[in-house]
Structure 1
Amino acid sequence: MDINSGQREARLNVPMEGDEGFQEALLEALKDLPTEQSVVVVPQPEGETEQEESKPAMRDQVPISPPVYESAGKVIPPPPTSGDEISTFQAALIFIKTEARLFDKALDDLSDLAHDIYYGLEIAKDAPVMEKLLCLIIGSGSEKYPAKEKSRDRKAASIIASAVQNNPTALKEIGNLWKMLVYPTCGGELYEGKSAGKKDSISILRNRLGREKDPQTLKAKVTAISGLLKEPVIRKDFLDKGGMEILLAIFLKKGVDFDIVRKKVLELVNDNFLDEGMGAELRLWPKMPVNEGKLCRTKGRMLEDGCWEFHVDSFFRERQNALWAGEFVRKLKERRAEWGDSIRDREL
């Protein structure tokens, strides 16, 4: 159709794709076109060529060891308007290190402030303060300030638990100090007349476990231990020094009042060794296979790794309403079935 006049016109006889004879017409139209191919080489100056050859590829220009990613981020100090709070905190650190007259008030002040990420980190970085707190936890205060008076050991445990809770930077600082903290200068009085040499804090705690009479205080100590075990250095040392036996001994303390402590012990084991969702490091524990019940009744074997199921299940049968105990036994059995009965099985 002519677009100007609107009259229909006959189409030119040009073959279209799909029409008969289209291929022949296409080949006829292309037969005279040149078919040669050539490559044009553009010369480069020699200096630039050598520079390009000596320059490493982009993938090789990336640093081999990039900076370590810090998930915790930077810990920001309190604003200047918190002057009184900062002064109180700094004074509390001094009073604890020097065992000054306001020692007990200093413990109270740190208990109030330790949950703050900044103050928790500052406590963790202060080796003398950490040692004083740890000595109180293991029940070895000074003559001037005994650990059991005025709940000093419970306050110390609460401070450390608060300082490391959701504060990985503080926990890492304690891990850096652990080689010193695990062998404190206190605690020697608990070993008078016994083997000489420095005793580690885990052994000292175990040695005086029978003196723990207050369930709330013992619960606070278990909570502090649970927080510290999130640090790999401390966790490994705790396992190597028989820390799991201490926990089972705590679980076996007599009296209904200690049920709150028993529950906290099982939470510790679950959160640190069984439940990955709670941040547990899996396949580290239990190390030994399940024992027969008769072995778990003997004094020399009752605290072994293989007796946890027996003791917790026995407790659950006595306290049917303690569903948390039954859940723990189920979880531990599942993990043994999944990982193997012992460390040796997992290494095969």
Structure 2
Amino acid sequence: MAPSRAKATTLPLLLAMIFGVLLCILAAPAQASSSSQPSPSADVDLICHTSNPDECYPRIFQPTDEFQTVREDQELPNGLHVRLNIWTGEKEAKINVPDEVDPSLEGLPVDQAVLVVDPQEPDAPPVPRGAPKYETVGKIKEPKPEYEAEPFFQAMKMLKSGDIDGGEVFDNALEGMEDLSHDIYYGLKITEDPAVLKGLFCLMADQGAPSADGITPRDQQAAAILAGALQNNPTALEKVINEWSKIMEFKCPQNDKPLSEGFYSSFMPSNTVTGDDAKQPAAKAKAKAGAINGLIKSDSIRAEFLKSAGMRNLLEVLVPEGKEWAAAQRKVGQLVLDTFLDEDMGAKLGQWPSTPRSTDVQCSTVEGQTNEGCWDYHVERIMKANKRDSGHWSKDLHDRLALARKNYKAPSGHQEL
């Protein structure tokens, strides 16, 4: 080949190679940039809750180097750095960088994978040394206006005034109050008003309160309201404790007797009922056991309850047979476990039982069946009736009660028969 022809062939090849190298160099930064901050392409599967395309977002979360909020219906790829914002409840994620240390967390104590941070209001001044302990319970915001609370406040007004003979109007108002009593805000509203509390306790103690067909009896409704207000609401219970002596001294309009004389009376109807006729008495007993369960979280009220033969009245609920009583009996069983026998559930052991076990002969008689020593007899009877259910509450109560009896020591001078 002639030298001139070889030079002409080599030059275009050399230019092509130089152009290719330059193209690779220019493409590398662009690729690095796109990998750190990807943006959805036309092929990305989107989620659209409205017809506005600007409000759509990728079904699979697109991470970047910064934390972004993860929507509830988005899917997360593996290997991301995910965290939960405890103030907003939102999940946030970004590209994971191994061994990355967040400078904002420097010096803060960490317990395993959980960051321990004392909450503090934005721009709040530091807490002075020796200041009283801050109680988070009770710092409750009023619910949003959309809550339908008119019946609740109508019931409050009628209970305060004593005008409780309003028939269906009052019954409907009580129903509205029960619906909201489980809310911490409304539970406090109920318990911070002594007149309302007295009205509710009088209703709960009045087994003869009138009730129309299809309407929840007022004593049951009042018990359910008190149970809801006290459930997981220690501030509400504190309000009741502060008024307790005055509540028990209060004379209810229906009989002009102090509440203390009727509050610890029987939960059961005076006549024996069975079958469908037992449904309403059983529902009443369950509601009243729920209210008692909330009240005896207080050490002082629990001591008074035990002294006033409260456990005998609870045992009456275990005596009837029939599926209509199952829910009420379970409520009573859980109350006894959580309050007196199961330390893992907060029970203070050694307070009850305070008597030895009675014999089966004693407990099988009408006169002796509700003696405190007969709890074992009735629990064992219920356990045998539900032997196919390995997780039935009666089995746990039977075993723990047997252990408590074993550890029971009779007071000095007491001679067991």
TM-score bracket, normalised by the shorter chain, equals 0.5 to 0.7
8 Å contact kept, 1:202–1:238: no
TM-score for the superposition, normalised by structure 2: 0.57
Q: Distance in 2 between matches of 1:290 and 1:317?
A: 18
Q: Distance in 1 between matches of 2:409 and 2:384?
A: 24
- Which residue in the other structure is 1:172 paired with? 238
Q: Distance in 2 between matches of 1:296 and 1:270?
A: 21
Aligned pairs for 1:46-125 (under 5 A) are 67=132, 69=133, 73-78=137-142, 81-82=144-145, 85=148, 89-97=152-160, 98-99=163-164, 101=166, 102-125=169-192
Cα gap change, 1:100 to 1:261, in 2 (>3 Å): closer
- Which residue in the other structure is 1:326 paired with? 395
How far does residue 321 in structure 1 lie from its aligned partner after superposition? Answer: 3.2
8 Å contact kept, 1:283–1:343: no
CA RMSD of aligned residues (A): 3.1
1:277 aligns with 2:368: no
- Which residue in the other structure is 1:132 paired with? 199
Higher normalized helix content (fraction of residues):
1
What is the aligned-residue identity percentage? 32
Q: Which amino acid aligns with 2:401?
A: L
Q: Which amino acid aligns with 1:114?
A: S
Q: Classify the secondary structure of the residue corresponding to 1:74.
A: coil
Cα gap change, 1:206 to 1:125, in 2 (>3 Å): same
Equivalent in 148, 157, 162 of residue 223 of structure 2 = 157
Q: Distance in 2 between matches of 1:131 and 1:159?
A: 13
Higher normalized strand content (fraction of residues):
2
Query: Which deviations, in whole Å up to 9, do the C-alpha atoms of 1:209-266 show, x marking residues without a partner?
Result: 5488412232122112111111122211110100000011111023331122111111
Cα gap change, 1:313 to 1:83, in 2 (>3 Å): closer
Unpaired segments ≥5 residues, structure 2 = 1-128
How far does residue 140 in structure 1 lie from its aligned partner after superposition? Answer: 4.4
8 Å contact kept, 1:138–1:153: yes
How far does residue 335 in structure 1 lie from its aligned partner after superposition? Answer: 2.7
1:228 aligns with 2:295: yes
TM-score for the superposition, normalised by structure 1: 0.68
Q: Which amino acid aligns with 1:250?
A: V
4+ residue segments displaced more than 4 Å: 69-72, 83-88, 196-199, 206-212, 341-345
Unpaired segments ≥5 residues, structure 1 = 1-61
- Which residue in the other structure is 2:408 paired with? 340
Higher relative contact order (CA closer than 8 Å, sequence separation 6+):
1
Cα gap change, 1:265 to 1:294, in 2 (>3 Å): same
Once structures 1 and 2 are overlaid, which stretch shifts more, 267-276 or 87-96?
Answer: 87-96
Aligned pairs for 1:202-221 (under 5 A) are 202-206=263-267, 208=269, 210=271, 213=278, 214=280, 215-221=282-288
Q: Classify the secondary structure of the residue corresponding to 1:289.
A: coil
Equivalent in 241, 246, 249 of residue 313 of structure 2 = 246
How far does residue 299 in structure 1 lie from its aligned partner after superposition? Answer: 3.7
Query: Which deviations, in whole Å up to 9, do the C-alpha atoms of 1:180-209 show, x marking residues without a partner?
Result: 3234423865x9xxxx98752334345855
Equivalent in 309, 319, 334 of residue 267 of structure 1 = 334
Q: Which amino acid aligns with 2:301?
A: I
